[in-house]
Amino acid sequence: MTTQIMFKIENKLKKAAQKRAKKEGITLSDFFQSATRSFIEGRLNVGLTGEDMQEDFEMYNSINYKKSIARARKSKKFYTSSQLYKKLGL
């Protein structure tokens, strides 16, 4: 028995993955099944690279990000994690 998984992915990323899978002689579905098996068996590890962390660091320290957070905190729709847990009864 099989099931269907739906998730959002950037179109450019999907097209590149399809192109690479086709070049390897498999479908994108075959790739995801293989990657899932490898992940379950511990043969595929997912983690941030130094480059990813640098990009995140730069984003979090940007003026626009800080201004966005300040605006969000002033809005009535913003909750800290502790406020959210309390609101959800956790």
pLDDT in tens, 1-50: 888 999 899 999 999 999 999 999 999 999 999 999 998 998 887 776 67
pLDDT at residue 43, rounded to an integer: 86
Which residues form the domain of 29?
11-40
Same domain for 59 and 32: no
> pLDDT at position 36, please?
92
Task: Report pTM.
Answer: 0.50
Predicted pLDDT of residue 82: 81
Q: How far apart are CA 28 and CA 15, in angstroms?
A: 10
Is 6 a domain residue? no
Q: Is residue 1 part of a domain?
A: no
Same domain assignment for residues 54 and 34: no
Residue 34 lies in a domain: yes
CA gap 77, 64 in Å, rounded: 19
Residue 4, domain member (yes or no): no
For residue 2, being part of any structural domain is answered with no
CA neighbor of 55 nearest in space, from 69, 45, 70, 65: 65
Quick one: pLDDT band at residue 88, thresholds 50, 70, 90?
confident
